[in-house]
Amino acid sequence: MSEEFSLVTEASVANWQHSTDIVVVGLGCAGAAAAIEATNVGGQVIVLERASSGGGTSALSGGVIYLGGGTPLQKACGFEDSPDEMYKYMVASCGDKADPERIRAYCDGSVEHYRWFLDQDVPFKPVFYPHYSGEPPNEDGLVFSGSENAHPFNQLAIPAPRGHVPQTEGQAGGLLMRKLIGAVKASHAEIQTDTRVEHLIASSDGRIIGVMARCAGETHTIRASRGVILSAGGFINNKAMLQTHAPLLRKCKFRVGAEGDDGSGIRLGTAAGALAIGLEMGSISLPIIPPKSVLRGIMVNAQGQRFINEDVYYGRLGEYALYRADGRAFLILDERTFVRPEVPREVVAVGETIEELERELGLPRGSLEATLTLYNQHAQKSEDPVFNKASEYVTPLLHPPFGALDCTTENSLYAVFTLGGLKTNVHGQALNADDVPIPGLYAAGRTSASLAAPGYSSGISIGDATFFARRAASHALNS
Amino acid sequence: MSEEFSLVTEASVANWQHSTDIVVVGLGCAGAAAAIEATNVGGQVIVLERASSGGGTSALSGGVIYLGGGTPLQKACGFEDSPDEMYKYMVASCGDKADPERIRAYCDGSVEHYRWFLDQDVPFKPVFYPHYSGEPPNEDGLVFSGSENAHPFNQLAIPAPRGHVPQTEGQAGGLLMRKLIGAVKASHAEIQTDTRVEHLIASSDGRIIGVMARCAGETHTIRASRGVILSAGGFINNKAMLQTHAPLLRKCKFRVGAEGDDGSGIRLGTAAGALAIGLEMGSISLPIIPPKSVLRGIMVNAQGQRFINEDVYYGRLGEYALYRADGRAFLILDERTFVRPEVPREVVAVGETIEELERELGLPRGSLEATLTLYNQHAQKSEDPVFNKASEYVTPLLHPPFGALDCTTENSLYAVFTLGGLKTNVHGQALNADDVPIPGLYAAGRTSASLAAPGYSSGISIGDATFFARRAASHALNS
C-alpha cells in the first residue's frame, strides 16, 4: 500500500544505516525533554527535526508551563498548593474527555518536574504577576493561567497560580526552547535537522523498531532498539484534517502552530495502529484582557444573553463563545467601565441607550435590555447569581454611552491549536484501540491527546509535553 | 499482533472455505439493501449476521426513512419538493461535519430510492400525519421528521415533509426489516446467522479480499472477490468506546441500539486502515411532543434562559440541551398551556408565582422572571424575535400556577445513538486517512459516518444506510 506515512515492515528494509536506542521525531519541547531524559541516564538518542532548527510551536508560544502542587516558585511567591488541589482543579476543568489517571500522575510529579526545568537552566523570577491571568508582559515568573479563581472552580479547589513562566520580557517560549535545545546539544544526543520522518518501521511481531527518514533527497533507515517517540506537534496547519475532524476550529482567525503542525506525527502513529482521540478538540482562546478591568463588561451572544461568567480564563471563554454561541459574541460596556483591551478589538456599536445599542448590534428587540436589567439589579449589590462572576468585576452598567466590542470569530482574534492526538498512557506509550500499548511506540506533546480535553488552561501543553516525554524516554530505556 | 479485529494477510490463510462475490457484515437495513442490490444484478452474496436473526437496530427503530425531492408519496399527499430544496435543508441542518457531496448524491437519488422500497414491497399509506413531527402513532405514511418548519431552516429551504414511514401502527422498523429481510431471503443471497466476523483479510497489495468469521466454535475463511461491505451498526453499546470518544452521550438515559452496536464494524474497518471520523457525535433526541401544544411552553437552562426555539425537531432540541445546556433543561408552562406530554416527563416544580417556580427549580434569582417578562412582552403580539419560534406556539405564559417539566439528562428520557464511523465516499467505499478508497472495502449504515454530523433529522440513518449500501454493492460489482 502506498498510503502516506504507512507502516513499513522490517522485511522490506534492506539495511539499517543508523542505529540508536531511541529515535525522537520532532524537536519541540517534548522532543527536547525526551532527549534530555534519555541521555541523562546513558541512552543513545537521535532527534530528527524536519525544520532547519528545532523549537517548533513551543518556541512560538508564551512559554507558560502549568505546574503546581507546591513548587518552590509557588512557595517563594507566598502561595500554598498541593497535588490534591491541583488535581481537583484539573479534573474539574479539563473537560469530559480528560484522563484522570494521567492528570493524577501529572499533579503528583509536578514539583519534581519544576525542578527538572531548573536543572535545564530555565530561569524563573520568584515574583507573582497579579494584574491578570495569562502571559505576563514582564519578567515575572508566576501567574494565574487558568480559571482557578472563577466559578465554579473556586468552589471545587483552593485556587493557586500555576502558570510558571521563564524569566524574560514578553513571550517566553523562545527562551524556554533555547535552554532546552541547549541542554540537548550539551548532551550526547544527535540532532539531525532538515530531516522528515516518512514511515515507522515495525518488526514482524509488531514492535516499532525504527524509522525511514528523508534528508537532502535521500532516504535513511534508522534503527531504534528501545523505541520511537513521536513528538511532532498537532495538526492546526493541515486544512484537510481540520475540515474532517474539527471544522469549527477553521473559524478561528489565529492559528498557533509552526509549519510542522500538519498532523504528520499523528498520522505516523495511526498508520502503526495507534488510536487517535479527541481530534475535534481545540484550545480556543478569546483574549479580552488585559486590562483586567474589561471584565466589568458583560459578554452576550446573538440573542443578547450572557452565556458565561466573563472572568473565566480566556481559554474557557473562547470555548464557550465558539461552541455554545456560534462565535457570535459581543462585550458590552458603559461609559464608566469602558476600556480598550490591549488585544485590538473593534468597537462595533455605540448607543446612547441600550435600545440603540441593541439595534446597532442587530440583537433581538428587548433582549439586551432584559439581560442588562437583570444584571444591573444584582450588580447594585455586587452580586451575579446568574453566572457567578467574582464581585470585584460586578458593577452596574448604567451610564451612556454604551458600547460593544466585537468578539465574533469573523472579526476578532481567536487563538487556536489542536488538542486531540494519539491516546497514551501514563508512561507515554501509544495505545491501540484495545488500550494496549504498541511496543516501541511513544507519543508526547500535541502529537498525543492533551491532558485538557478541551478545558484548556495555559501551560498544559508545554507541561504535559515535557512531563510525559520524559516518562516516555525513561520507560523506553527501562522496559 | 493480537489486536482484536486486526487485519489478517492472505499469506496466513491456509485455505478458503467459502467464496463469493460480496460478503456483507451485518443484516440490518444496510446489509439487507446491499444484498438485495447485489443479487438483483446477478452478484453472489453471503450475509453474515452475529445475532440469531437479522434486523439489528433498524428493526428496533421507528422505521422512518428520510426521503424527498418529490417522491410519489409526497405528491400523493399534496406536497411539492425538489432535490434542491431537500439539499438546502440538509446542508443547513446536518451539522458542521456533513459531507455536501454525499448529501447531494442522496438528494438527487432520493425519488429513485423511494421506488426501490416499493419494489421491496414496503407499503406506504398515502396520508400525511399532521399533528406533530416525529413518528406517527398510526398508519400514516408521511410526516415531518426534522426541523424543516422551524427557524432558521424555514428561511433557508422550502419546507416539505420527508419522513416516509412504512404502513403499520406504531414503530415501523419491525415491518420494514421483515420486508427487507424477506427480499433478501427471496434472492439467492446466502444468510449465515450466529456468525461473527473477527478479521478482515487483505491481499499482499492491500485489497480486502475476505473475512475470517466464527460460527459454532469454528473459524471460517470466506473469500469475497468483489469486496466486503461493513454494515454492522454503531457503538452505542460499547461503554469503553463511548467513554473514549463520546463521553457526553453516556449521560443520555435511553440508548437506541441492538446488542451488536458495539463498534465491531468500525473496528474491523480501522484495523484495515480505514479512517473513522466524528466519533464524538450522536443523535440526541429529547422528545417533549406529542402533543404539539406543549411547544407553547418555553425551555430554559440552569440560568433560567431560553436557548433554542422550542419548535425545532426533538433531535435538534436534544443536541442543544446536552451540548449547550449541559443537559440541564426545564420546560416551563402556565395553567392555560399545561399539558402532559405522552413521553413521561415529571412535573419537577410548581409555583403560584414565577418567583416561586424559580426558587423551586433552584434557578438564579430573577432569571426566569426576566426570561418570561421578555418572552411575554413579545408573545402578546404572537412574536418571538429572540428565538423565532413559529407564532402558532407563541402565547403569553401569564396564568398561575406555573409548572416545570423535568428535561434534564438525569431525570428524563434522552434517546441516543452514535453518528460517527468510517469515512466513505459517494460509492460507499471506505477511505483511508489520505481520502483514498481502500480497495475492496465498503461501509454503510452506522458503521459509516452519517450524513448528519450531528444535526439529526429522523430517517437519515435508515435513509443513508440503505442508499449508500446499494451504491456500495453496485460499485463493488461494477468496478
Of A3, A248, A367, the CB nearest to B434: A3
Banded pLDDT at B343 (limits 50, 70, 90): confident
Interface test with A, best of B2, B97, B316 (most A CBs within 10 A): B97
Query: Does the beta-carbon distance from A386 to B377 stay under 8 Å?
Result: no
Chain A closest-CA separation from residue B340 CA (Å): 29
Going by C-alpha positions, the residue among A210, A188, A227, A224 that lies closest to residue A39 is A188
User: Read out DSSP for B187-225?
Assistant: TT-EEE-SEEEEEEEE-TTS-EEEEEEEETTEEEEEEEE
Average pLDDT over residues A103-112: 98
In total, chain B counts a number of residues equal to 479
Query: Does the beta-carbon distance from B96 to A280 stay under 8 Å?
Result: no
* CA atoms of A90 and A71, how far apart (whole Å): 16
Confidence (pLDDT) at B429: 98
* CA atoms of B310 and B325, how far apart (whole Å): 14
pLDDT top residue among A454 and B226: B226
* CA atoms of B238 and A404, how far apart (whole Å): 47
Chain A closest-CA separation from residue B408 CA (Å): 18
Query: Does the beta-carbon distance from B433 to A267 stay under 8 Å?
Result: yes
Banded pLDDT at A134 (limits 50, 70, 90): confident
Q: For A293-318, write each residue's pLDDT tens digit.
A: 999 999 999 999 999 999 999 999 99
Distances (CA, A) of A434 to A430, A437, B257: 11, 9, 22
Query: Does the beta-carbon distance from B96 to A205 stay under 8 Å?
Result: no
Confidence (pLDDT) at A133: 87
Banded pLDDT at A26 (limits 50, 70, 90): very high
User: And the C-alpha cell for B262?
Assistant: 458495539
Query: Does the beta-carbon distance from B3 to A423 stay under 8 Å?
Result: no
Q: Whole-model pTM?
A: 0.96
Chain B closest-CA separation from residue A240 CA (Å): 9
Q: For A243-289, write each residue's pLDDT tens digit.
A: 999 999 999 989 999 999 999 999 999 999 999 999 999 999 999 99
Query: Does the beta-carbon distance from A433 to B367 stay under 8 Å?
Result: no
Please name the residue ranges forming H helices in B380-478. 460-478
What b/e sequence results for A106-143 when a residue is b if at least 16 CB atoms lie within 10 Å of its CB, and e otherwise? bbebbbebbebbeebebebbebbbeebbbbbeebbbbb
Strand partners, A283: A417
Q: For B80-96, write each residue's pLDDT tens digit.
A: 999 999 999 999 999 99
Query: Does the beta-carbon distance from B273 to A3 stay under 8 Å?
Result: yes
Beta strands in A353-436 (DSSP E): 402-406, 415-418, 421-422, 429-431
Q: For B387-400, write each residue's pLDDT tens digit.
A: 999 999 999 999 99
In total, chain A counts a number of residues equal to 479
Of B3, B96, B387, the CB nearest to A273: B3
Chain A closest-CA separation from residue B126 CA (Å): 40
User: And the C-alpha cell for A3?
Assistant: 498510503
Pairing label, strands B282-285, B415-418: antiparallel
- At residue B453, the 3 state secondary structure works out as coil
- The residue in chain B having the minimum alpha-carbon distance to the alpha carbon of residue A431 is B3
Greatest distance between any 2 Cα atoms in chain A: 78
- At residue B361, the 3 state secondary structure works out as helix
Residue A170 · residue A111 · CB < 8 Å: no
Around Cβ A101, how many Cβ atoms within 10 Å? 10
Banded pLDDT at A28 (limits 50, 70, 90): very high
- Centroid of chain to Cα B228: 23
Banded pLDDT at A1 (limits 50, 70, 90): very low
CA angle A231, A237, A240 (to 5 degrees): 110
User: And the C-alpha cell for B80?
Assistant: 411539492
Q: For A42-93, write each residue's pLDDT tens digit.
A: 999 999 999 999 999 999 999 999 999 999 999 999 999 999 999 999 999 9
* CA atoms of A357 and A451, how far apart (whole Å): 41
User: And the C-alpha cell for A153?
Assistant: 472552580
Cβ neighbours of residue A145 closer than 8 Å, sequence gap 6 or more: A64, A66, A133, A134, A135, A161, A162, A163, A313, A457, A458, A459
